[in-house]
Amino acid sequence: MKKCPKCQKEIDQKASKCPFCQSDLRSWFRRHPILTVILVLIGLGVVGSIAGGGKSSTSSASQTGSSTVNSGEEKKAEPTSVEVMKVDAKAFMAEFDSNQLRAEEMYKDKVVELSAVVKNISEDIMGSPFLSLEPQGAEFSMASIKCIFAQKAQITSVEKGSMITVQGKVSDQSLGVIQLNNCSLVQ
């Protein structure tokens, strides 16, 4: 036996409703299952966004090959050449639709270049500017491409519906969204 928190009368331990005062004794999560699912999905999105990255931690000085100071002595930084995989956006998304695990194994942490149509221009909940992209003439797909940029200024001239070419480092696919980090527009 336990006491009802509202009327303080003795009730059965397993009761979900007080037989005396009709108070609902279920937890908030049990009383609101739809809101609970929404909160869990939002939480997963936040964790995925944080874990998937957004902003690059490398300095622009090391990316441009300018000199850096290390332990008091000047050193010329070697420019890093990253191999860029040119991919067809439609085939790229089809790989993820077909087998996400194989596609992530093939593309994760690789820089890809693809051309696609801009479907959305926005910021995520962490304030990172991004473009949602879809291949031109794409049929229904469970996947979409989210291209995260370091600064808003990089994409303020882009128009929704326009065809663009981007380069970005493939992160992973979460909830049907293939994430590319450190994106840049290709002229």
Indicate yes or no: pTM above 0.75.
Answer: no
Each residue of 147-167: pLDDT tens digit? 999 888 888 888 888 889 998
Query: Over the stretch 123-135, which tens digit does the pLDDT of each residue have?
Result: 888 888 998 888 8
Give me the chain's average pLDDT, please: 79
Residue-wise pLDDT for 36-58, tens only, equals 888 888 888 888 777 765 444 44
97 in Cβ contact with 143 (< 8 Å): yes
pLDDT digits (tens, 9 = 90+) for 86-121: 888 888 888 888 888 888 888 989 999 998 888 888
Per-residue pLDDT tens over the stretch 59-75: 333 344 444 444 444 44
The count of other CB atoms within 10 Å of the CB of residue 107 is: 22
pLDDT of residue 39: 87
CA distance 115 to 167: 9
Which domains are present in the chain?
Answer: 2-52 (no CATH), 84-185 (2.40.50.140)
Conformational region of residue 137, where left means phi above 0, alpha means psi within -120 to 50, and beta covers everything else: left
DSSP character for 13? T
Taking CA 56 as the corner, what is the angle to CA 54 and CA 59, rounded to the nearest 5 degrees? 160
